[in-house]
Amino acid sequence: MTMGRLSEKTVLVTGGSRGIGKSISLRLAREGALVAVHYGHDPVAAKETVAEIEAAGGQAFAFRAELGVPGDAAALWAAFDTALAARGAGPGLDILVNNAGITLPKMISDVTEEDYDRVFAVNVKAPFFVIQQGLERLRDGGRIINISSGVTRIAFPHIAAYAMTKGALDTLTLTLAHQLGPRGITVNAVAPGIVETEINPTLQDPQTRTRLAALSAFNRIGQPADIADIVAFVASDDARWVTGQHLDATGGSFLGV
């Protein structure tokens, strides 16, 4: 059963088959949206996500496009258009969630030029051109939601290059919010902190888990659903007067010394 706030809406979630992206896909489908689950390299996870949505009474389809390579945005939109038409749905999009990204756990002294180019290609260049080439598809009154990170507020030297990519995404968010306001399109960034996904294998160590949980005001590790619920709010009409914002979703991490 769906809640209905996003009924008749079409949503695209990049990297929507695993981790935070999967939780976002499931959550927006519960709101009644038709969810396009983008994936880059794991068709099994994408198929499972779509099956889970459909089993709960929602609507979804998966499509593949590799990000971080030349022509990635054009390939993504071509695949999206084809998959959408195959479902018999009308063209266009209401909500774009730029979630796909990669991390780079290296100190600045260890980052190579290849490392740097790769993380910026996936985390910055790809969403930039996905948005650029998607604006003609995005309906007036739509939503762009960029998944940023708490590392733009909190210093983590061991992921410096990654943090830079999320800072760039925050700046893009602010700029686009100003540009797209006349069309009624809101643009916001949601910034998770430490979240329990496969990207954080260190959470399997009990001591590390306890130490990282203590960084939050709630003394626990974030869950993908914590982030998805915030995205659902920003995607809805309830957030129509919120744009150009960086929504801190770190569970109050590092609020005090």
What pLDDT does residue 257 have?
64
CA 242 distance to own-chain centroid: 18
- Residue 86 pLDDT > 70, yes or no? yes
What secondary structure does DSSP assign to 104-141, as a single string?
Answer: ----GGG--HHHHHHHHIIIIIHHHHHHHHHTTTEEEE
- Domain spans in the chain, listed from the N-terminal domain onward: 10-249
Query: Which phi and psi (to 5°) does residue 145 adopt?
Result: -125, 115
pLDDT for 32-81, tens place per residue? 999 999 999 999 999 999 999 999 999 999 999 999 999 999 999 999 99
For the domain made up of 10-249, the CATH class stated in words is alpha beta
203 burial via Cβ count (<10 Å: 0-12, 13-18, 19+):
middle
pTM assigned to the model = 0.96
- Residue 250 pLDDT > 80, yes or no? yes
**Average pLDDT for the chain:** 96
Helix (H, G, I), strand (E, B) or coil at 62: strand
| pLDDT band of 2, cuts 50, 70, 90 | very low
**Lookup: tokens for 91:** 């063209």
Determine the average pLDDT of the residues in 85-113: 96
Beta strand 10-13 pairing with 93-98:
parallel
Rounded distance between C-alpha atoms, residue 206 and residue 213, angstroms = 10
Looking at 63, 77, 80, 162, which residue is catalytic?
Answer: 162
- Under 8 Å between Cβ of 253 and 150: yes
| pLDDT band of 133, cuts 50, 70, 90 | very high
Query: Which phi and psi (to 5°) does residue 37 adopt?
Result: -95, 100
pLDDT for 40-51, tens place per residue? 999 999 999 999
What pLDDT does residue 17 have?
98
- Residue 1 pLDDT > 60, yes or no? no
Task: Say whether 39 is catalytic.
Answer: no
